[in-house]
Each structure stands twice: as structure tokens, then as C-alpha cells.
Amino acid sequence: MGLIETAVNPWGQTVPIHIEFYLMWVAAIGGLAFLMVHAIYVQFVAAKASHAARISPALEAQYPPKIKRHSLVARLFHWVMSVAMFALLITAFLPRMGYPFAWVEYHWIAGLVLTASIIFHIFHATFWMDFWSIWPDKEDIQEAKWRFLRATGKDAPEPRKFGKYPFENKMYHLVIVLSGLAVTLTGVFMMKRVRTPFFTRNPYLFGDMTWGMMYILHGLAGVGLIGLVMVHVYFALRPEKFVITKSMIGGDLDRDFYLEHYDQERWKVPAAK
């Protein structure tokens, strides 16, 4: 039982054709295992979060009661992308799980929605958002190391509070960027293999090996997204993270939550008027 399936093409070459589909179960079980281990760790092992002393009224007065975390446009992008992602996963994997339906058209339509939303997000994040706030930097990595050392009982300096996006959040975004770009770029090319109103079908656009690698990359990124989406939904529903999830709906965080959990130097918000 390998990771990929191969076939012999008409020229006698052995070429990869797609991933072995049991990998979707590996991703799902891996995702589930992570959730269970994390939930047990948080419940029984991890040190309880220490509450800071009461926030001073002077500090409170500097900030508005509601702190804007996500603009309307950013929230719309997130939810459009979510719907597209779920549609893609359902159309890709449900037929493989034994629930056959005509999935191809829904799949590429959802893929186009995802691609368009990603292109939009790249422009929006580059020109209208704090572009670098989501990317891990040296400081994040240094502090992650300190956190790990302290969690394992070793001496290390106390890390600062997070900026707008915690390190784990940034790493998750990075992995989603890589897998999202892999599925959308390969997916757009794969549309040349099926009938759509946009392209004339041409399976000879690339050689069999290139196509095979594209299918493998699409498949690996696709099954990876099963685990990643499971993890994302899990954290979104965890009680201590739910405030952040709500901010993806309403856009705002409470001032107290902001002052308690974030470093005001690393995530600067406009002062109260």
C-alpha cells in the first residue's frame, strides 16, 4: 500500500496518476487524534491561564469598549472562502466515502469561488491590511521556543503577550496558504481536463508526468485540508477561543479581552476618542 497510484501510459512510461484515496482517512483520523490529544492536554496537563491583575481604569480609558479585529470585507472573504472550502471537501471526498453524486461541476465552481476569493484576499491584504501582521517573524519563533522550554519545565525568559495573531495562528495561516495555493493552482490547470464553459478540453496541455504530479499535489493538499479544516473548526469552537470566533462574525473584541490577552505594543489599535 503506497502513497500514490501509478499507471503505464501509451508510451510505456510509468507515471503517477493520483494519491491513494485511503489517505483521506489518514488525514481525518490524524485530525481527530490531534483534537483529542489537544483537548486532553488543555483539560488535564496544561497550566491554567493566570489572570492578570485588574486592568487599570487609566489603561481602559485609552481604548474604546469594542476593539475592531476584522473589517467587514475581511469577514466576508473569510466566510466566502469557508463555504467554498467546505463545498470543495464535500464534493471531493463524499463520493469517495460511498455517497456518489454528480460532483465535478460543483467542485470546479467551488474551486473558482475559492480561487477568486484568494486572489481578492492577496490584493486586499497587501494594500488595505497590515500585511506583515500574519506572517511569523524571528521574535515569534524565539518566543515559541521559550514557551516550549517553559512548558517542559526548563528555564527560559517569559515571552510577551501576542500581537494581533498568535504564533500558532500565523503558522496555521502559513500552512493554509501553501495548501490553498497548491490546490487552487493545480485545480485551475486540471479544469483543462474536464468540460467547462471556459476552456476547450485539452489533456495534452502537459505531459503525463507533469499532469500526474499535479494530481498528486492536488490530492495531497486536498487531504491535508481535511485535517487543517478539522483543526480550524475545533479551535473556533473551543470555549477560550470563542471570543475570537465571534469577532469573525461581528468584527469586534471586548476591550477587556484585548487588554488581557494581547500586547498593546504589538497590536496597536486606535485610541478612544
DSSP sequence for 255-273: HHHHHHHB-TTTS--PPP-
Residue 17 or 144 with smaller CB distance to another protein:
17
Q: Which residues of 197-230 are buried (b: 16+ CB within 10 A; e: fewer)?
A: eeeeeeeeeeebeebbbbbbbbbbbbbbbbbbbb
Residue 2 or 57 with smaller CB distance to another protein:
2
Identify which range of 111-119, 174-182, 192-200, 223-231 contacts another protein by CB under 8 A.
Answer: 192-200
Interface with another protein, residue 193, by CB under 8 A: yes
Q: At 252, list the grid cell.
A: 469586534
Reduced to 3 states, what is the DSSP secondary structure of residue 212?
A: helix
Rounded CA-CA distance 251/129 in Å is 14
Contact pattern from residue 210 through residue 249 relative to another protein, giving x for each residue in contact according to CB under 8 A and a dash for the rest: -xx--x----------------------------------
Phi, psi of 251 (to 5 degrees): 100, -20
Residue 35 or 109 with smaller CB distance to another protein:
109
> Residue 89's closest CA among 193, 183, 197?
183
Contact pattern from residue 117 through residue 136 relative to another protein, giving x for each residue in contact according to CB under 8 A and a dash for the rest: --------------------
CB of 12 to another protein, least distance (A): 12
Interface with another protein, residue 192, by CB under 8 A: no
Instruction: Catalog residues that contact another protein under the rule CB under 8 A.
Output: 5, 7-8, 10, 17-18, 95, 100-104, 193-195, 201-204, 211-212, 215
